[in-house]
Structure 1
């Protein structure tokens, strides 16, 4: 059953409930609104909320829980070594999902019937060929165990879809009946609606908080699992990064941390002076007309996708640096991908972060401090250097730290501009890599999450999370201290 169709049905029932609830309340008083406790629209809204909210919540929870339950049910039959054929359960489940999705596509396109999809047999049918007729390509042969598990997967998913459709519609109808029954003149519909809206607002806040908690817990649990397999001492102190899914990996984070911090440092050396000077000009020297054009133009840089910056680094900055510092000139640079390439591109990306935040901080400095400085005979430049910038320094430092945390978490610019070499070097014209780039590479493809080589991505993510969280907390502390001083 289509989720879109189910959602439209619930929306339609909600709209019908609104009309019925409103009309029922008015009919009970012969159209005299003064005899109602609340406005007629509140009675309709009460029915609408009772119809839609519980139904959509059940639908959301079901959509989240069903894949987990189906996966566990199918996994239970794949624990036997003879079924898995020396592969991990995760890899077998990947094949099961592909075949199950392929069967679903084949049924939708009419290549095979539902009954045929349930009874398909590898001994008498080439499954890859049949699915190929529907445009579904499989990377390997389908074993009888995988096909049987895929058919079970589709069967359980289909049963779950039917049950979800029936229960959601039934709950919506029950809510509609409940709301309509409450639509009497003495019912406090406004109070009920306001409580319902307040509950929805609280739920929205809880979802945001629970999402954050879920992200942290997923990192923590997988990081703990990684350190059960790989020594924490080697991870944090080793200077070699050499993963190998065949075994014998050396997973030291130091070269990745060094590349992350080195590229971020170069980016800040580009972004901080340019962004700060731009902020000073916009806030102290530029006319209103120039400011109205220049400030949005600078902030356009913040809206450019990072993949575009990565392509700019790869196609423009890298070749330009290679012509200046390459083998034909000073010989410092061997290729276009290097720390300097990624750092310059990232620095350009960070300019609006530093500029916009610093501009807001400088404008927040009280005008009385400027007037006092001018009254003592100081020039505009002396006022900026000796009064405004020192007063705005805490806020500017906070802006820089926020930009630094943004630089540390960047991925696409690094992947395209910095290369993939994990090394400890001071040469900014050599290729290096960062923590985020290696997280992507370790989780690309069909990763076996029972191996240290895949789980190391979560340990890298947890380390990066702690670093950026520390920078953000420090930045917020400085900014709040500044605001308490001048607001």
Structure 2
């Protein structure tokens, strides 16, 4: 399918349909005529929707079934002995034909039947693309004529457009909900398969993590979650100790103390930190922060490893600062000016107003920003992969290497794995654990905000 041509066709259909609906409704809106129920833009939007809908349906059907039809056509042009072998041989032949048809090179000598199949498939693609685009344009034209004839003085175009928009919004919400539900169900089912090999008690309360990739038995290895959970909590706690005070103080300065010019300089510079890829943060932790902490530890007589929970937590805290500062800044600026003026009018200083009026009023939003930062810290992967050390042991010293849940998921799913073994299925159990942790964080935050709001109001 020619993507640019398809996009151009859709844009052209939208433009023509909207212009037709708008122009026809404008002709009806004469001083002598009865007043239109809806304004011309609504009529244009309704005609555009009616026009584009059939084209989108045809394109969606081709997107769903086009790959199957293309594969069947290629198989039809392959020799019988290749088709009869099936499996990897057939799949390899199909891929070579597709590469030949697209003009890309293939490894090895091209067989005559492959060249013939590639040429035939190229013609099939051109014909199929022309047919699909032509059908979409034809159905769109018919729908345009039908929608254009529907335009009348009392046509409730506004109501129909708003109803369609409401259904679209409902569909988007349903997609988001169903996606979340699908993710959760996939985690639950795969985690249940893992717990058929390993006892949940041994998993959630075990203190030893040693999966031992072995073929001696399906349940070989020890899968204690506590070392990974402790490492995750330790790194997240260090990150929050770094990011929360810096981020909140930055937000207070930019929203209450900084001049407009200074704010326009400080806030974008801070927000640049949010756009840096996490792999860059991980590399920065590995080659700069880790060696610096190790050297600093030697200076003061404390053993700090270059790859440790402290290194990962500090760098992760730096990464999270923009999440807290930007959100908190926007929230603090939403506090009604009347409350601030009333506090200052009663004789409170600016710092007292911030502490006793602005921060309490903005606390629900600040808690939300804090929750977002904690969730970001718990789910971070690349920084801890490079800087934490990947040592799944229970350690209270943050200067020692540790491992987290996300790092372990990466390790368990790296390479060619058999998803029928507990060594790979444990990744889904770990993912479900992270989901439950985030869920409880949300519930706790809502409870705290509700209790404080009752006291404040």
TM range (shorter): 0.7 to 0.9
Q: 1:309 to 1:110 in 2, by over 3 A?
A: closer
Shift of 1:312: 1.6
Separation of aligned partners in 2, 1:233 and 1:66? 49
Residue 304 (structure 1) aligns with:
276
Match for residue 209 of structure 2 among 233, 240, 247: 240
Aligned counterparts of 2:442 and 2:452: Cα–Cα separation in 1: 15
CA distance in 2, matches of 1:51, 1:243: 60
The answer for the alignment partner of 2:98 in structure 1 is 104
CA contact (8 A) 2:19 2:44 kept: yes
| Residue 466 of structure 1, CA deviation | 1.2
* 1:374 positional shift: 3.2
In structure 2, the residue matched to 1:172 is: 140
Structure 2, unmatched stretches of 5+, are 72-82
Question: By how many angstroms is 1:265 displaced?
Answer: 0.9
Residues 269-284 of structure 1 mapped to structure 2, 5 A cutoff: 269-283=241-255
The structure-2 alpha-carbon separation of the partners of 1:180 and 1:260, relative to structure 1 and needing over 3 Å to count, comes to: same
Residues 449 and 3 (structure 1 numbering): CA distance in 2 closer, same or farther, change over 3 Å? farther
Q: Distance in 2 between matches of 1:203 and 1:215?
A: 18
Deviation at 1:261, TM superposition (A): 0.7
Deviation at residue 233 of structure 1 after TM alignment? 2.9
Retained in 1: the 8 A contact 2:251–2:325?
Answer: yes
Cα distance, 1:433 vs. partner?
A: 2.1
Q: Does 1:215 align with 2:183?
A: yes
State yes or no: 1:205 paired with 2:173. Answer: yes
SS in 2 for 1:415: helix
Seen in structure 2, the aligned counterparts of structure 1 residues 372 and 191 have a Cα distance that, compared at 3 Å, is closer
Matched, 1:370 2:339: no
| Aligned partner of residue 421 in structure 1, secondary structure | coil
Q: Spell out, residue by residue over 1:279-298, the C-alpha distance to the aligned partner (whole angstroms, 9 max, x if none).
A: 44445554555444334433
**1:97-131 alpha-carbon deviations (Å, 9 max, x no partner):** 676445422321165xxxxxxxxxxxxxxx85248
1:355 matched residue in structure 2: 325
TM (normalized to structure 1)?
0.71
CA gap 1:202/1:65 in 2 versus in 1, 3 angstroms = farther
What per-residue deviation string (whole Å, max 9, x for no partner) do you get for residues 324-371 of structure 1?
235x9747244x221111111011122233334444555538326733
Counterpart-to-counterpart distance in 2, 1:52 and 1:443 = 43
Q: Distance in 1 between matches of 2:45 and 2:137?
A: 19
Q: Could you tell me how far 1:19 is from its partner in structure 2?
A: 4.5
Offset from partner CA, 1:454-481 (integer Å, 9 cap, x none)? 3322221111011112213332443455
| Alpha carbons of structure 1 residues 433 and 62: separation in structure 2 relative to 1, 3 Å | farther
Measured at CA, do residues 47 and 383 of structure 1 come closer, stay the same or move farther in structure 2, by a change above 3 Å?
closer
Q: Deviations over 1:192-230 (max 9, x none)?
A: 333333333333333333333333233233333333444
Q: 1:255-274 to 2 correspondence within 5 Å?
A: 255-274=227-246
- Label 1:207 to 1:387 Cα distance change in 2 as closer, same or farther (>3 A): closer
Structure 2 Cα separation of the partners of residues 358 and 434 of structure 1: 28
Distance in 1 of aligned mates of 2:391 and 2:44: 63
Tell me, in whole angstroms, the C-alpha distance in 2 between the residues paired with 1:392 and 1:41. Answer: 40
Equivalent position of 2:297 in the other structure: 325
CA distance in 2, matches of 1:295, 1:480: 30
CA RMSD of aligned residues (A): 4.5
Residue aligning to 1:460: 430
Once residues 158 and 237 of structure 1 are traced to their aligned partners in structure 2, the CA distance between those partners, rounded to angstroms, is 57
Q: Which of 321, 325, 346 in structure 1 is aligned with 2:316? A: 346
SS of the residue corresponding to residue 108 of structure 2 reads: helix
SS of equivalent residue, structure 1 residue 129: coil
SS in 2 for 1:423: coil
